[in-house]
A and B are shown apart, each in its own frame.
Chain A
Amino acid sequence: MIYESIINVFQPFLLLIIVTGVSLGIIWGALPGLSTTMAMALLIGFTSTMSQDVAICFMLGVYTGSVFGGAISAILINIPGTPDAVPTMIEGHALAKKGEAGTALGTSIFGSFIGNWVGILLLIFLMPFLIAVALKFKSWEMFLLSIIGISVCGTMCSGEIPIKGWIVGFIGILIAMVGIDPIYGIERYTFDNPNLYDGFSYIPILIGLFGICEIIKTLPNENKSPIPKSIGKLFLPFSILKKYVFTAFRSGLIGTFIGALPGAGANVASFLSYDIGRKQASTEERKKWGKGSYEAIVCAEVANNANIGGSMLPTLALGIPGNAAAAALLAALTMKNVVVGPTIEIDHPGLVYFIYAVLLIANFFMYAMAIALIKPCIKLFSLSRGLLLPLIIPVCILGAYAARLNLSDLWIMFFAGIFGYFLTMSKYPTAPAVLGVILGPMADENLRRSLMIFSEKNINYFFEQYIGLILLLIFIYVIYDGIKRLKMN
């Protein structure tokens, strides 16, 4: 089964789809203002008529490519294509100004390649352990897991003011409550509108929050980027990377671990790894930090790419997306009737091995396509956002509509976009809302089931649920840590 799943990926058509996804991802990621999440959210619609294997290859290709793509514009034009490329921008652009753009880009490509390897290998290694633990989870544990996921996401997304993240995450849960109640079949917040009986599909919500909201926010602020005349020779510095093997390994671990935390994505991974790297660097190297350090680029790029493997860990094993991009991937998988979670290996035998193989192949293609696409990407930087963003709007419309062929989804997308804009203007994070919408039904059903069980047993039964108690303590700690941050602020 494992062998068959891996061999399946080597079909020429699937390889072509992976290359297409990776290339699209690199170009998308390189364009300033267009994030990985936005790419993933918009492309869900395109996968609606694809087969399961093709959709997985396409989405994972885009994911792998777009995380790296952000580094190109960060180094060459001092604008991060994706937010996680900010540390790369600080260091890489300083090197580009010294005439070392080619070497900086080469370090970034190789760092991304190594980062992906570390993330994927850790994913393969840790997945069986996480699934084994998750199979012991009952209703109470699943409820706690979902609210821990939303709370951690809220904390990770809003830094110093975690309650803003929690508010948005909990509002996401409330949005997920619309529709027919799964236990008694009672209507909740449907107002007798048949379009609301099935609840809100989270695909138009994702497109609204990450596509339409970004467009509304960015369109009025036109910025022209200075285009570099040449990047010099693209140099892939094995010697530089050999020097930073330990740094790369440490950054890979940080990236994977951060990726596995719900809500914490490539941004936190690259900033944290960059920060730790600075503290751990030699005195001589530390002096270069902020003025063009290759070690700093290794820290940031390895971590944000290792994050991909890390984010797949809770997504596949627990059904809890590691970040907003993984949430989009989860939405695409759900559309293909793939139920992720502890029983993934029973429900879909061989699927996880297929995903591992796709990730590994996408990583090789990322390396090759990054080298091939850097020069064409420079030409794309001359395109104005005033041209690009209006052209993305019809793609958002098609993406939201294609998932269910339901016109009311266009309104859901629009209002999600307006709500996202309102949240952004009020400095609330948007990602926890998506996690809330995805995990809301799981939290609701499992809380009520577990309370029904607890009401029939005595109090000792509650204290005998050891995994539940550990999860409850984790939840209390997350809330305590959030309140501590709030007091410091």
Chain B
Amino acid sequence: MNNNLNKKEYISEDEGAGNAAPLIEVFSSLFLILFLIWFLFESFKISVPDNNFLTAPSLLPIIFSISILLMLLLIFKKGIKNLKLKKEIILLKSISYIKNLISPIILFLYIFLLTNITFSYDLRIFNLSLNVGPFLIFTFIFTTLLLFIYWKTKIINCIITSLVWSMFLSFSFTNFFNIPLPGS
């Protein structure tokens, strides 16, 4: 670590930023290029009031889209130049796709249910209320699932931890922070 530190020519705030594998550079720049072409197309569709392009709402988006496109083409070109197919195939095979995709998929389902199901029931405990709604139910279910997958402990520990945490968040947000919960 110390030797690497001494070798560093430029210190970067984001330690992960830098050169990626050529295949990743090609794929990511291609994806962004396609997105920007679509964005440019949409920008040209925006009307130009008074036919004055200098004050047009699409002026800045067009200037910056073109600048980004040019920079992405540089990265794309460099990626193509350094591409070694055999090496890249080994890299692609080494990635554990399922392991990396589990949490985004669970998160997607969690948000999908939170934003599409609405119900609310107030459970009174002394003078305080516990809101039993989508947030409490789905937080309990999905946190238990994530804990079971990543904490690697007995299911009962996951259930208890998840239940206590979901109830604590629901209770404190409605009673102390006075913030309504999503879906309620």
Identify the A interface with B (CB < 8 A). 45-46, 48-49, 83, 86-87, 90, 156-161, 163-167, 170-171, 173-174, 177, 181, 183-184, 186, 188-189, 212, 215-216, 219-220, 222, 263-265, 267-268, 271-272, 274-275, 290, 323, 384-387, 389-391, 393-395, 397-398, 401-402, 405, 407-408, 410-411, 414, 417-418, 421-422, 424-431, 440, 443-444, 447-448, 451-452, 455, 485, 488-489
Contacts and interface: CB of A to CB of B under 8 A. Distances in A.
Contacts of B32: 167, 171
B182 A216 contact: no
Given A90-B2, A159-B17, A171 B49 contact: no
A391 B65 CA distance: 38
Contacts of B1: 86, 90
A469 to B, nearest CB: 20
A273 to B, nearest CB: 10
Given A184-B49, A394-B166, A410 B12 contact: no
A410 B15 contact: no
Interface of B: 1-2, 5, 8-20, 24-25, 27-28, 31-32, 39, 42, 46-47, 49, 52, 54-61, 64-65, 67-68, 71-72, 74-75, 96, 99-100, 102-104, 107-108, 110-111, 114-115, 135, 139, 142-143, 146-147, 150-152, 161, 165-166, 169, 173, 177-183
Given A174-B61, A394-B169, A264 B104 contact: no
A386 to B, nearest CB: 4
A418 B59 CA distance: 28
A173 B43 CA distance: 14
B150 A46 contact: no
B60 A160 contact: no
B114 A429 contact: no
A80 B100 CA distance: 24
Contacts of B67: 166, 170
B118 to A, nearest CB: 9
Chain B, interface SS category: helix
Contact of B143 (A86, A87, A390, A407): A390
Contacts of A164: 17-18, 75
Among the interface residues A174, A215, A290, A452, which one has the most CB atoms of the partner chain B within 10 A? A174
Contacts of A430: 14
Given A158-B17, A186-B46, A186-B47, A448 B5 contact: no
Contacts of B139: 394, 397
Contacts of B59: 447-448, 451
A425 to B, nearest CB: 7
A180 to B, nearest CB: 9
Given A165-B17, A171-B68, 18 more contacts: A48-B179, A86-B1, A156-B12, A159-B8, A160-B18, A167-B72, A174-B68, A220-B100, A263-B13, A268-B11, A271-B8, A394-B169, A397-B114, A401-B181, A405-B180, A414-B111, A447-B60, A455-B54
